[in-house]
Structure 1
Amino acid sequence: MDKWQTITGFEINKDNIQMLEPYCNEFLVHAADAEGLQAGIDEELVKHLADICSVSVTYAGGGRSIQDLELVERLSGGKIDLTIGSALDIFGGKGVTFDECCRWNLARG
């Protein structure tokens, strides 16, 4: 909230997600404490989102490699997508290339 500078008391729990879902086509969840650090994803949050969300979810924060794409797919049973930011070569990162990500996605059909 407010460019990730103001902490909100809104919890990511089943009741709150169910309240929002009728108004949403998809959720974009930023793990702000992991954002830009390339230190890995918040595995517990990914599993939690997969358990409580019925709409599409994209998770952002800490993604750095093809292995992280595979980890999110495994932890969520394929229900959660991962966005990779600062680790991506087109943003100056060294963790993974845009072409590698495209090939990984194409291989999943």
Structure 2
Amino acid sequence: MEIFPAVDVLRGMCVQLVQGERSSATVYGSPRENAERWIRCGARNLHVVNLDGAFSTSSENVKVIRDVVAETDVFVQVGGGIRSIADARGWLDAGVDRIIVSTFATKEPKALRVLADEFGSERIMAGVDARAGEIAVSGWQETAGDYIAWAQLFEQFGAGSLLYTNVDVEGLQAGIAQEPVRELIDAVSVPVVVAGGVSSTADVAALRQLGAAGCVLGSALYSGKIHLEEALKEAYES
């Protein structure tokens, strides 16, 4: 199972939010410095989110994120504010290894097929952000139906993997909810990376046992509740 330290970018800075609320942002310095920090600790993947893009315009933070991609030699997946095929192409052409398409995928699922045919399905990840069993869109401000049904549709239209984020526990540092993860993994055949609530090596172990392809470490990593080296050992050596 792979580990993805989060590098969430808001107004050019690396931050962590609680359940997606901008007002809850804690600032942790520059995105590049944090990316390099996690790489020094052994990370071989990064999960980068353009939070300004998720909330408003996709052009925010482009240079900052491109610098992270250009100056690191690990696998980088990027999401946030991808609202068109042109947005997606821009990131993929810039060297991002995999893009995460969320709200746009619910509005135009066929775009997943276009992108998968052009770039390869392995570079196209669909975001399944869920609140109370429904997919959450538009910066998690709205819901749009059963998350399992959407996940299956995304797979049908060409997504090579899924990012499942449980909004109900995201940022709370109180552990994962296993049952929704199990239900999703059982319902699809593509790899599922899990975000939201991963706060201990026990959570990492549980996700590995459930068959998750990876997990994102966010708030608990930045607060020191979970240590990257321990999470990597649990994911790679157990």
Match of 1:33 in 2: 168
Match of 1:57 in 2: 192
* 2:143 matches 1:8: yes
Q: Secondary structure at the match of 1:30?
A: strand
Match for residue 155 of structure 2 among 10, 18, 21: 21
Deviation at 1:94, TM superposition (A): 2.4
How many residues were matched structurally? 101
In 1: Cα distance, 2:232 partner to 2:225 partner: 14
In 2: Cα distance, 1:45 partner to 1:80 partner: 15
In 2: Cα distance, 1:19 partner to 1:36 partner: 27
State the Cα RMSD in Å.
1.7
Matches within 5 A, 1:54-93: 54-74=189-209, 76=210, 78-88=211-221, 91=222, 93=223
Q: Give unpaired runs (5+ residues) of structure 2.
A: 1-136
More strand by share: 2
What code does the residue aligned with 1:94 have?
A: G
User: TM-score scaled to structure 2, two decimals?
Assistant: 0.39
* 2:172 matches 1:42: no
Q: Are the counterparts in 2 of residues 50 and 80 from structure 1 also a CA contact under 8 Å?
A: no
In 2: Cα distance, 1:66 partner to 1:44 partner: 18
**Whose Rg is larger?**
2
Match of 2:237 in 1: 107
Percentage of identical aligned residues? 31
In 1: Cα distance, 2:237 partner to 2:220 partner: 21
Q: Are the counterparts in 1 of residues 194 and 212 from structure 2 also a CA contact under 8 Å?
A: no
